[in-house]
């Protein structure tokens, strides 16, 4: 049996994250942006909750495509300024 960090709690979702993503270097800008955003969402939430909501977060952030997120933010700012 493999030893895991305590935070994995024998949970398949956390174990998969531990094995495939945690502590790995990320050279892809889109994946790095996703990791940074997920870290921000983790503030005040458990990491398990963030991972469970990951698909919804991806949809809300246009699958972390930087250009789309940037354009979306400009649209939101313009709408706010027009108020």
39 included as an active-site residue: yes
Q: What is the mean pLDDT of residues 11-31?
A: 91
Q: Check 9, 21, 26, 39 and give the catalytic one.
A: 39
Helix axes 66-82, 29-42, angle to 10 degrees: 50
| pLDDT at residue 43, as a whole number | 81
What is the CB-side half-sphere exposure of residue 79 using CA atoms within 13 A? 6
Confidence of residue 13 (pLDDT cuts 50, 70, 90): very high
7 included as an active-site residue: no
**Given a cut of 70, is residue 64 above it in pLDDT?**
yes
9 included as an active-site residue: no
| pLDDT at residue 11, as a whole number | 93
Contact between 35 and 64 (Cβ < 8 Å): no
Q: Check 4, 17, 21, 26 and give the catalytic one.
A: 17
Alpha-carbon gap, residue 59 to 6, rounded angstroms: 30
3-state secondary structure of 70: helix
Alpha-carbon gap, residue 77 to 48, rounded angstroms: 32
């Amino acid at each position: 049996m493999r030893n895991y960090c305590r935070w994995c709690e024998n949970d398949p979702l956390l174990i998969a994250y531990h094995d495939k993503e945690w502590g790995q270097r990320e050279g892809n800008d889109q994946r790095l942006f996703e990791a940074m955003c997920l870290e921000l969402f983790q503030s005040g939430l458990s990491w398990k909750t963030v991972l469970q909501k990951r698909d919804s977060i991806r949809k809300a952030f246009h699958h972390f495509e930087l250009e789309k997120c940037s354009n979306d933010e400009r649209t939101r700012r313009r709408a706010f300024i027009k108020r």
